[in-house]
Amino acid sequence: MRDGEAHVLTAEADRTVMETIRDAGIDELQALCGGCCSCATCHVFIQEDYMRLLPSMNEDENDLLDGSEHRQEGSRLSCQIRITDSLNRIVVQIAPED
């Protein structure tokens, strides 16, 4: 959550981080485009240890994140991160709203 409150969610393999958060009823993550990589309202910060485990960012994701004033080292769009076994216990924080 944005305020630092922690939620432990169970993620199904092959779902995205965005879908996992949204399906848990956490409405701070707007995900307005539904995962089409066109809105950036699913911006999250990924804990450093997990960054190297993620697929690389495509140009669209990178461009959208460039439009955020809150972009930082661990920024990713959560709709572009699919849950795999290697992401077990991944920690994400919802980025502030732009």
What residues line the site for ligand FES (CB under 6 A)? 18, 31-33, 35, 37-42, 77, 79
Residue 53 beta carbon to ligand FES: minimum distance, rounded to whole angstroms: 19
User: Are 70 and 96 a contacting pair, CB within 8 Å?
Assistant: yes
Q: Judged by CB, which is closer to ligand FES: 20, or 41?
A: 41
Q: At its nearest, how many Å lie between ligand FES and the CB of residue 82?
A: 12
C-beta separation of 26 from 1 below 8 A: yes
In the bound complex, what is the minimum distance in angstroms from residue 21's beta carbon to ligand FES?
10
Closer residue to ligand FES, CB minimum distance, 35 or 74: 35
